[in-house]
């Protein structure tokens, strides 16, 4: 098998997150940030954190909108820097403000407490709480958790825990909306056996809405119907991946806000996740929130199930019409402008995007015939190296299935 690319320097338990683009973000433990493209098998640089390091800090994918325009934001907080200082700072790698491979990186508000080994938990409200951690290398517990609000980029200090949490700790959101914290190892022979339960603010904010039965879940790009006696008061719905925590970090942590489509007196119907990049297949908690932002207890549902109303598992079709395969393209020494045109279709869930790459490099979005119409598409790039090159087009449907086509061309300058 041919080499696909050079693996960047990695740390133990590097933070790896599937982004809405389908690229995998790597960052948080070392200063360098990267994305990995499963289509080309290559890592590319995504810039650098402002902090020199955040060893055993955290990286959390902030809440996502259920839209093709969503590229994602990642909160990077706490950790130990290269000078041995434990940080209270936080920054955001904002792919929405940049591109799928190059985020805009900026500091956000700092926490009140410096901490490494924090335990991140996403609430059904979209707020992120960092529990526990230490202000020294596995010593000096930080008992007070802090909650980050992605809407205001502010931190709120919460009531202190009784039990300190350090390396190998865990914090999990429970279906009723409380948070369970447990474990911790000061060394290889000292283990923390006590657990604690934290009750967030919404448990004390009046009557909560309820979900009265198991929601009916459609395929990607379809709909989810939620039975509830409180339909008239529901103003938003969140979908939150079930926790999968190891070494005080949850690599699958994500929340998607689902658009409300219709209501009846006893149900709310929302858009299902549009693709598997936004919501990878698996089990999620779904919550209905009222106008005060108070969430219902969650119901566990499966997204991407093969039994979910005819889930699309068939790849789309993709073709390149121009240039023709093995075409010779002439141009000036300054570089040849290559105009690529093709077709894409999918009879089940529709086309989400078409991207084009040259010689296995980073892929860039093509232009559809019209918004949402990928029956024909175009792409333009400049090639300034003489010789044979490969043009690859990648079509992704709204169920996350992909198809590829490659053609060789020869450039003469």
User: Over the stretch 102-117, which tens digit does the pLDDT of each residue have?
Assistant: 999 999 999 999 999 9
Strand pairing report for 234-241 and 282-290: antiparallel
Instruction: Examine residue 308 and state whether it is found in any structural domain, yes or no.
Output: no
Q: Is the pLDDT of residue 1 over 70?
A: no
The number of domains in the chain is 3
Same domain, 250 and 372: no
Residue 9 binned pLDDT confidence (cut-offs 50, 70, 90): confident
212-266 pLDDT tens trace:
999 999 988 889 999 999 999 999 999 999 988 877 788 888 999 999 999 999 9
225: left (phi over 0), alpha (psi -120 to 50) or beta: beta
Same domain, 248 and 345: no
pLDDT at 40: 82
| Average pLDDT of the segment spanning 170-198 | 93
- Beta bridge pairs of residue 147: 129, 156
203-216 pLDDT tens trace:
999 999 999 999 99
* pLDDT, mean over the chain: 92
Residue 351 binned pLDDT confidence (cut-offs 50, 70, 90): confident
- pTM listed for this prediction: 0.76
Instruction: Examine residue 311 and state whether it is found in any structural domain, yes or no.
Output: no
Residue 10 binned pLDDT confidence (cut-offs 50, 70, 90): confident
For residue 25, give the CATH number of its domain.
Answer: 2.130.10.80
pLDDT at 309: 47
| Average pLDDT of the segment spanning 24-53 | 91
Q: Is the pLDDT of residue 188 over 90?
A: no
Decide if 233 contacts 269 (C-beta within 8 A).
no
Residue 52 binned pLDDT confidence (cut-offs 50, 70, 90): very high
- Positive or negative, the Cα torsion across 238, 241, 247, 251? negative
| CA 383 remoteness from chain centre | 32
Cα gap 166→135, rounded to integer Å: 10
Percent share of the chain, pLDDT over 70: 97
pLDDT at 304: 86
Strand pairing report for 73-77 and 90-94: antiparallel
Phi–psi pair at 171, nearest 5 degrees: -140, 130
| Average pLDDT of the segment spanning 130-154 | 96
Same domain, 188 and 237: no
Closest CA to 120 of 30, 244, 256: 244
Same domain, 159 and 295: no
Domain end position, chosen among 203, 234, 265: 203
Residue 39 binned pLDDT confidence (cut-offs 50, 70, 90): confident
Q: What range does the domain containing 278 cover?
A: 216-303
For residue 299, give the CATH number of its domain.
Answer: 2.60.40.10
- Positive or negative, the Cα torsion across 296, 297, 301, 303? positive
Domain end position, chosen among 150, 169, 203: 203
Cα gap 390→256, rounded to integer Å: 36
367-413 pLDDT tens trace:
998 777 788 999 999 999 999 999 999 999 877 889 999 999 999 98
Phi–psi pair at 203, nearest 5 degrees: -75, -10
- Beta bridge pairs of residue 180: 172, 197
The tokens describing 328, both together, are 């010779």
């Amino acid at each position: 098998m041919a080499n696909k690319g050079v693996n960047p320097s990695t740390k133990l338990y590097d933070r790896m997150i599937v982004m809405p683009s389908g690229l995998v973000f790597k960052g948080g433990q070392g200063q360098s940030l990267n994305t990995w493209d499963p289509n080309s098998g290559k890592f590319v640089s995504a810039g650098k954190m402002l902090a020199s390091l955040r060893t055993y800090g955290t990286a959390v994918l902030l809440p996502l909108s259920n839209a093709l325009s969503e590229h994602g934001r990642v909160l990077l907080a706490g950790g130990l820097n290269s000078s041995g200082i434990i940080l209270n700072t936080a920054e955001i790698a904002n792919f929405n403000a940049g591109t799928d491979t190059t985020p805009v990186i900026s500091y956000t508000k700092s926490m009140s407490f410096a901490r490494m080994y924090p335990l991140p938990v996403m609430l059904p409200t979209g707020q992120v709480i960092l529990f526990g951690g230490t202000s020294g290398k596995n010593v000096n517990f930080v008992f007070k958790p802090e909650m980050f609000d992605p809407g205001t980029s502010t931190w709120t200090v919460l009531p202190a825990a009784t039990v300190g949490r350090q390396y190998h700790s865990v914090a999990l959101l429970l279906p009723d909306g409380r948070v369970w914290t447990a474990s911790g190892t000061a060394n290889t022979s000292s283990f923390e056996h006590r657990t604690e339960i934290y009750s967030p603010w919404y448990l004390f904010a009046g009557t909560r809405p309820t979900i009265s039965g198991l929601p009916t879940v459609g395929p990607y790009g379809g709909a989810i119907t939620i039975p509830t006696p409180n339909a008239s008061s529901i103003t938003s719905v969140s979908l939150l991946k079930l926790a999968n925590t190891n070494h005080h970090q949850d690599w699958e942590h994500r929340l998607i806000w689902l658009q409300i489509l219709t209501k009846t007196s006893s149900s709310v119907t929302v858009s299902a996740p549009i693709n598997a990049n936004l919501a990878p297949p698996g089990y999620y908690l779904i919550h209905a929130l009222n106008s005060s932002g108070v969430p219902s207890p969650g119901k566990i549902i499966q997204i991407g199930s093969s039994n979910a109303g005819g889930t699309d598992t068939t790849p789309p079709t993709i073709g390149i019409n121009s240039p023709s395969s093995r075409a010779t393209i002439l141009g000036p020494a300054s570089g040849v402008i290559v105009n690529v045109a093709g077709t894409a279709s999918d009879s089940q869930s529709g086309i989400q995007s078409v991207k084009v790459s040259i010689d296995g490099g980073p892929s860039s979005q093509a232009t559809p015939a019209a918004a949402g119409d990928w029956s024909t598409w175009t792409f333009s790039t400049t090639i300034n190296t003489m010789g044979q090159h490969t043009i690859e087009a990648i079509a992704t449907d709204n169920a996350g299935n992909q198809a590829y086509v490659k053609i060789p061309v020869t450039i003469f300058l």
